[in-house]
Chain A
Amino acid sequence: MPQVLVVADAVDGSAPKPALELLTLARRIGSPSAVVFGPYAERAVETLASHGAEHVYLVKDHRMLDHLVVPKVEALEQITRQIGADLTAVLLTASPEGKEIGARLALRLDAGFISDAIDVDAGDPGYPVVATQSAFAASFTVTSAVTSGVPVIAVKPNATTPAPQPVQAAVNEVDVELSQAATAATITGREVPQSSGRPELTDASIVVSGGRGLGGAEHFALMERLADLLGAAVGASRAAVDAGWYPHSNQVGQTGKTVSPQLYLAAGISGAIQHRAGMQTSKVIAAVNKDPEAPIFELADFGVVGDLHQVVPALIDEIISRRG
């Protein structure tokens, strides 16, 4: 039975939404397996099994988390060689770390690597796995396939909706032999920002973002209120982050996070190309801006030309009243 190995990045042991999306995609290609790293890896097993993971490989070695990337690459190298000819594809989340791991693994396996896929599907016998990407500020849709070795594919969050499929998972604990080079870059400190209680920006189904048009840090409270009503994450444009109104960790754009939620709502964001690079693969885009010429409207499925300080509070009232 062909196996598709999903790399589930579970820092605290819980399986994040992107990993469940990967398992859902993996089922189109073969029998899904999952790898989880870190001392608490076991905690993720149940969720992974509920989304179709037939095998779960646990790599509990703490060095997986104490050093940058390479220990995970070596663990995956070992696991993929163990699976052998049954391995049909490796799927990772297209986070900065996921892409690094994927590229390094592919190099070691003499395999091809495709990054930032927005979809993955079974192909024909010539190219059994086909990935879809979006290129040049989403003006092109590209399909590609790997021509050498096992396809290693990094998939953007929100490529699909996680669909449960409970199975009985076979759990394997893996002991990894690490090379000396694997521990050369040591993580000596880790600062986790206080949780906002909102979904992760890159995983969220809805993102509401504010830009220069908000006019000040204090007005982000408005976006947060809207976000909490919708169960959304809050994003910010580079202009708003550079002005010090909102943390860099919330920046959407080329040098911030890339998001592709079901709905992206931009308020007071003009839509400079750097911003568009981070959000234009969103499924539905809505925008509020004073300037009818703002480039964001070229992308928007629905645009309101007006003052966001009028429109957003009115939207909030509408949502509340419709919910009764």
Chain B
Amino acid sequence: MPKIVVLVKFTPDLTGDRSFQADGTVDRVSVPGRLSELDEHAAEQALRVKESGDWELTYLTMGPDGAQDALRKALSMGGDAAVHVRDARLHGSDAFATSLVLAAAIQRIGFDLVLTGMASTDAGMGVVPALLAERLSVPALTFAGQLAVTGDSVEIVRDSDTSAETVTARLPAIVSVTDRTGEARYPSFKGIMAAKKKPVATWGLADLGIDPGQVGLAAARSTVLSAARRPARTAGQLVKDDGDGGKLLADFMAAHRFI
């Protein structure tokens, strides 16, 4: 049976007061988290592929305890099983270490297609799919606004900055999808109940044969030198339009030499 692996991430809620910890890493504990909104689109597309044929769908996440919530949420939409890579030594891992760990887990699960969101809603670099492609030596079709799997090939329409490109590749492949692929389904009550019985495996670094020296903050290839909270943009001037709003706005723009 062909296999799809969907990457999901548990991310701090965007509306929460996010901040850094003393070691320069993102505080993922004191801010409420959720399944990254952008990953729901990947789950949706994976479910559509699954429903179009006979595919086995596994969700994969890497993160602290709370990441289980993201897996359960995804499983309640559908899918067969989930894997949670959890290891205290992963704390502070950069995109390179993350891709190393996820690639090992994907290989252990087995895959014909890997689906991801276009980026996480927190770090948001959007490079993990490309790095996974490097690690797994398979093509990456990124930023898909449309996706079609036919036989052993995949075709996407990629929304690039300046054009829409149609891109094809043979499976196995990695595809990252944008929110243009369509709304994600809401979990049904039945789905939520069923998700509780679906298997969720927990793997550590030893299970994946990864040397702890290759991951975590100490192995990161970049370092934060300083992180300072920006002074809030409070100096802004607010005026009420009494017929002179356009003129006042023009005055402001002229003062900044935009006119």
Q: Give the B-binding residues of A (Cβ under 8 A).
A: 11, 68-70, 95-97, 99-100, 102-104, 106-108, 111-116, 127, 130, 134-149, 181, 184-193, 200, 202, 206, 230, 248-249, 254-255, 257, 262-263, 273-274, 277, 284-286, 288, 292, 297-307, 310-319, 322-323
Contacts and interface: CB of A to CB of B under 8 A. Distances in A.
A217 B249 CA distance: 24
A100 B128 CA distance: 9
Interface residues of B, number: 79
Nearest to A300: B236
Interface stretch (B12-20, B46-54, B73-81): B12-20
A200 B238 contact: no
B22 interface: no
B250 A96 contact: no
B149 interface: no
B229 A202 contact: no
B108 interface: no
Q: Is chain B's binding surface mostly helix, strand, loop or mixed?
A: mixed
A147 B138 CA distance: 28
A185 B141 contact: yes
A143 B225 contact: yes
Contacts of A130: 225
Nearest to A248: B180
A99 B125 contact: yes
Contacts of B131: 103-104, 107
A310 B241 contact: yes
Contacts of A273: 14-15
Given A140-B19, A263-B256, A313 B246 contact: yes
A114 B94 CA distance: 10
B222 interface: yes
Nearest to B18: A136
A255 B137 CA distance: 28
B96 A314 contact: no
Interface stretch (B59-67, B82-90, B157-165, B184-192): B157-165
A115 to B, nearest CB: 5
Given A139-B230, A185-B140, A185-B167, A319 B161 contact: no
B250 A318 contact: yes
B235 interface: yes
B139 A185 contact: yes
B128 to A, nearest CB: 8
Of A230, A300, A303, A316, chain B has the most CB atoms within 10 Å of the CB of A303
A192 B162 CA distance: 7
23 contacts: A95-B161, A103-B130, A112-B220, A113-B96, A113-B127, A113-B221, A116-B124, A134-B230, A135-B20, A144-B222, A146-B222, A184-B170, A188-B155, A190-B164, A255-B179, A273-B15, A274-B14, A286-B249, A297-B236, A304-B246, A305-B239, A305-B240, A310-B243
B241 A188 contact: no
Interface string B12-35: 001100111000000000000000
A113 B222 CA distance: 7
A230 B250 CA distance: 12
Given A112-B222, A136-B19, 16 more contacts: A99-B125, A104-B130, A108-B134, A139-B18, A139-B232, A140-B19, A143-B225, A149-B221, A184-B138, A186-B167, A188-B155, A193-B164, A301-B233, A301-B252, A310-B245, A322-B254
B80 to A, nearest CB: 28
Contacts of A188: 155, 166-168
B165 A96 contact: no
A97 B235 contact: no
Contacts, number: 251
B250 A315 contact: yes
B142 interface: yes
A288 B236 contact: no
Of B15, B130, B232, chain A has the most CB atoms within 10 Å of the CB of B130
B245 A262 contact: no
B252 A302 contact: yes
Given A181-B137, A189-B165, A96 B126 contact: yes
Contacts of A254: 121, 124
Contact of A140 (B126, B178, B228, B254): B228
Contacts of B163: 190-193
A12 to B, nearest CB: 10
Contacts of A70: 139
Contacts of B14: 137, 273-274, 277
Contacts of B167: 68, 185-188
A317 B243 CA distance: 13
A322 B208 CA distance: 68
Contact of B248 (A284, A300, A304): A304
A10 to B, nearest CB: 11
A126 to B, nearest CB: 10
